[in-house]
């Protein structure tokens, strides 16, 4: 790697020349490498570093041990790229198991169990020979360009729909001119706010893809500048590969907005009670997300009992806890095995997670807490004055249904805080309530009722609305990480329906293949769904994919 193109002061050549002196057409042996300057330095330039106060704190990489007498010393090829997680740390290490470059701190924190962590510098010949410099990793992939165009179209669609929605506001204002003057500003502001929210989401997504392009351009430039340093070439190439791989993997599990619209829905009630209204209607954005597709795994049924009803289930880590007959059973998803069980009193129904190491089970007129730390084991219990079927937990509160017409809210000591049976007009809210879930994405509580549908409340158990749909008569309900609500229909061979975070039906993701389902739960990360049935010895296992995959 001698710099033969440079005029030299002598006939002596070096494997690494001083970068600073080379700019003055001088050839001097480099003894160290300055990380901050990213240049090789001879002894004179090292001395200059010591004299200039702004350069005194720079870090230097030493040359290797002197070779035998009469041969020039060589400087090791060192990576200079700094870790994005740990400031000032160089990406010295390479984990062959994870195919990732890392610093010493990353190696200690994220790869401590890996047995093939090696130094980039001392293994560079072997490592670099495996990759070369592939230009494909330095260019944006088709997915990025496609998604930028996709979100640009969404923005245009959103802007056009905003104009239409505002016009709808104005048209309705003309009809109600005597009453609506003071309310027009409120409704337009709501549309603008909804527009900004959705616009922000789309812009953020588009910027994400644009940033990927910028990152790849920067890495490409760094590789071009580091042509004499194969360690730097290796690190930057690996980072480029990782960047492209990350966006591809991320897009597979990403929930994508399919529409960007804002609609204004006029209120007919306003004509009769305009003085009571606080706005002109409701500003909503239309966000249609991908719907799961459920594929039954025929050879991987979960054997849970003998003729037992699988009444409830919930996800705890990478396991499923089932309630049936007089037991709780835990199934490990990764190993596809039942790991342990425990006996609970009074016939368990609903089960919910109340912490990383505990679940609560509705058992007759008792709420039984069960530890799920090492083994399933009973802990404390709370006796109620009513039967318990569905159960959910949020922020120190328990929400319980009675398989009839009441919803209860308790604190964790068992103190009754609220009972809900009817709406503000005195009409019954339930006909036969079942399981209950709390959706963190919009802080709403949903009660599945086989007669009514999904009955929606806020966290204080104030009634909001009832979502009625012929396909939404839920025995079992659950929610995934994105706020999608999965409903198991209360019929033989009935549909499994996906609803959005507000309870509106998005589509059918599958059809049950046995008797009436009693419970359903979804592990979003592993893309698995479990459906439990009445009078069955199994819970059926389904693989989930998105309809765009």
- DSSP secondary structure, 227-294, as one string: TT-HHHHHHHHHHHHHHHHHHHHHHHT-------EEEEEE-GGGGT-GGG-SSSEEEEEE-PPP-EEE
* Backbone CA torsion sign across 6, 8, 12, 14: negative
Confidence of residue 276 (pLDDT cuts 50, 70, 90): low
Most confident range (mean pLDDT) of 15-29, 156-170, 307-321, 426-440 is: 426-440
Rounded CA gap, 173 and 8, in Å? 85
Percent of the chain with pLDDT over 90: 28
Give residues with Cβ within 8 angstroms of 206, minimum separation 6.
147, 148, 151, 152, 155
- CB half-sphere exposure, 37, CA atoms < 13 A: 21
The model's pLDDT over 89-120, given as tens digits with 9 standing for 90+, comes to 888 899 998 889 999 899 998 898 888 999 88
Cβ-contact 60, 84 below 8 angstroms:
no
Which residue from 114, 131, 120, 129 is spatially nearest to 94, judged by alpha carbons?
120
pLDDT value, residue 347: 85
Neighbours of 313 (CB within 10 A): 30
Q: What is the largest CA-CA distance in the chain?
A: 103
292-546 carries CATH number 2.120.10.30:
yes
pLDDT value, residue 6: 39
The pLDDT of residue 281 is above 50:
yes
pLDDT value, residue 70: 35
Rounded CA gap, 2 and 176, in Å? 85
Which residues partner with 533 through β-bridges? 517
Confidence of residue 361 (pLDDT cuts 50, 70, 90): very high
Confidence of residue 136 (pLDDT cuts 50, 70, 90): low
Cβ-contact 82, 89 below 8 angstroms:
yes
Percent of the chain with pLDDT over 70: 83
CA dihedral of 168, 171, 177, 182, whole degrees rounded to 10: 30
The model's pLDDT over 419-454, given as tens digits with 9 standing for 90+, comes to 999 998 999 999 999 999 999 877 899 999 998 999
pLDDT value, residue 8: 44
Task: Over range 481-490, report the average pLDDT.
Answer: 85
Look up residue 17 and give its DSSP letter: B
The pLDDT of residue 213 is above 60:
yes
pLDDT value, residue 504: 84
Helix/strand number for the chain, H first, E second: 7, 33
pLDDT value, residue 5: 41
Cβ-contact 529, 539 below 8 angstroms:
no
pLDDT value, residue 139: 63
- Rg of the chain over CA atoms, in angstroms? 32
> Is 342 strand, coil or helix?
strand
Arithmetic mean of pLDDT over the chain? 81
Neighbours of 189 (CB within 10 A): 12
Global pTM reads 0.50
Cα end-to-end distance, the chain, whole Å? 49
Question: Helices 230-252 and 142-175 sit at what angle, rounded to 10 degrees?
Answer: 40
pLDDT value, residue 233: 80
* Encoded tokens for 474: 């839920």
Rounded CA gap, 457 and 502, in Å? 11
* Encoded tokens for 129: 């020979």
Which residue from 503, 31, 546 is spatially nearest to 292, judged by alpha carbons?
546
Distances in whole angstroms, Cα of residue 20 to Cα of each of 40, 42, 43, 369:
8, 8, 11, 71
Q: Are strands 517-523 and 505-511 parallel, antiparallel or unpaired?
A: unpaired
Cβ-contact 198, 190 below 8 angstroms:
no
Look up residue 123 and give its DSSP letter: G
Rounded CA gap, 151 and 138, in Å? 23
Distances in whole angstroms, Cα of residue 425 to Cα of each of 421, 438, 460:
11, 25, 19
* Backbone CA torsion sign across 24, 29, 31, 36: positive
Q: Between 224 and 227, where is the model more confident?
A: 224
The pLDDT of residue 78 is above 80:
no
The pLDDT of residue 134 is above 90:
no
């Amino acid at each position: 790697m001698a710099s033969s193109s440079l005029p030299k002061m002598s006939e002596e050549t070096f494997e690494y020349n001083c970068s600073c002196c080379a700019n003055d057409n001088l050839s001097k042996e480099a003894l160290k490498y300055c990380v901050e300057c990213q240049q090789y330095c001879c002894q004179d330039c090292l001395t200059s570093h010591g004299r200039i106060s702004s350069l005194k704190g720079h870090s230097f990489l030493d040359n290797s041990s002197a070779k035998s007498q009469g041969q020039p010393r060589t400087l090791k090829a060192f990576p200079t790229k700094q870790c994005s997680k740990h400031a000032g740390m160089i990406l010295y290490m390479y984990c062959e198991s994870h195919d990732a470059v890392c610093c010493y701190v990353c190696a200690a924190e994220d790869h401590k169990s890996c047995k093939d962590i090696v130094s980039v510098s001392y293994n560079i010949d072997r490592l670099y020979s495996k990759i070369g410099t592939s230009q494909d990793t330095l260019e944006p992939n088709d997915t990025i360009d496609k998604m930028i165009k996709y979100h640009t179209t969404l923005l245009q669609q959103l802007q056009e729909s905003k104009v239409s929605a505002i016009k709808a506001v104005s048209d309705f204002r003309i009809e109600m001119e005597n009453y609506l003057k003071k309310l027009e500003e409120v409704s337009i502001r709501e549309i603008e706010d909804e527009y900004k929210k959705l616009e922000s989401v789309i812009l953020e997504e588009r910027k994400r893809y644009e940033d990927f392009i910028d990152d790849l351009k920067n890495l490409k430039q760094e590789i071009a500048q580091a042509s004499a340093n194969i360690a730097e070439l290796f690190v930057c190439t690996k980072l480029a590969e990782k960047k492209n791989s990350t966006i591809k993997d991320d897009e597979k599990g990403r929930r994508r907005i399919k529409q960007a619209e804002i609609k204004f829905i006029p209120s007919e009630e306003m004509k009769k009670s305009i003085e009571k209204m606080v706005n002109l209607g409701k500003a909503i954005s239309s966000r249609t997300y991908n719907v799961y597709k459920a594929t039954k795994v025929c050879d991987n049924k979960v054997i849970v009992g003998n003729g037992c009803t699988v009444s409830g289930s919930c996800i705890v880590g990478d396991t499923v806890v089932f309630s049936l007959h007089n037991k709780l059973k835990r199934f490990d998803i990764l190993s596809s095995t039942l790991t342990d069980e425990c006996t609970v009193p009074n016939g368990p129904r609903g089960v919910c997670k109340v912490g990383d190491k505990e679940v609560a089970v509705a058992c007759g007129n008792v709420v039984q807490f069960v530890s799920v730390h090492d083994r399933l084991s009973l802990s404390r219990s709370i006796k109620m004055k009513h039967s318990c079927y569905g159960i959910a937990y949020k922020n120190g509160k328990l929400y319980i249904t009675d398989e009839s017409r009441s919803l209860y809210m308790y604190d964790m000591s068992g103190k009754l805080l609220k009972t809900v049976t009817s709406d503000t007009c005195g009409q019954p809210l339930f006909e036969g309530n079942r399981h209950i879930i709390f959706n963190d994405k919009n802080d709403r509580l949903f009660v599945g009722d086989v007669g009514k549908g999904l009955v929606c409340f806020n966290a204080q158990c104030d009634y909001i609305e009832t979502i009625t749909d012929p396909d939404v008569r839920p025995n079992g309900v659950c929610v995934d990480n994105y706020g999608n609500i999965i409903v198991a229909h209360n019929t033989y061979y009935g549909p499994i329906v996906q609803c959005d975070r507000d309870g509106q039906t998005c589509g059918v993701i599958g059809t049950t293949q046995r008797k009436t389902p009693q419970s359903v739960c979804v592990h979003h990360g592993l893309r698995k769904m479990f459906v439990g049935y009445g009078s069955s010895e199994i819970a059926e296992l389904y693989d989930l994919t998105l309809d765009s995959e």
